[in-house]
Amino acid sequence: MGARHVGYGVKDAHYATVGAALLAMLSETLGSAFTPEVRGAWTALYGAVETTMKAGAAAVPH
């Protein structure tokens, strides 16, 4: 999926922007249910996907 995103024009730096937007959306919609534990779990999940996608992107020509 990271490799396909290279074809969409996505750069590594864009992942931080999307991750921040995801966390902001979750905070806004979950309100008080967005506890530090929940934030930590989403941050870890996004980070794992981000790392994997960047590795896939790095493996294809730009």
In angstroms, give the least distance from the CB of 56 to ligand HEM. Answer: 10
In angstroms, give the least distance from the CB of 5 to ligand HEM. Answer: 5
Which of 24, 30, 42, 49 forms a contact with ligand HEM (CB under 6 A)?
49
Q: Does 15 bind ligand HEM (CB under 6 A)?
A: yes
Of the candidate spans 8-16, 25-33, 34-42, 54-62, the one that interacts with ligand HEM by CB under 6 A turns out to be 8-16
Query: b/e string for 1-33 if b means 16 or more Cβ within 10 A?
Result: ebeebbeeebeeeebeeebeeeeeebeeeeeee
d(CA 10, CA 1): 11
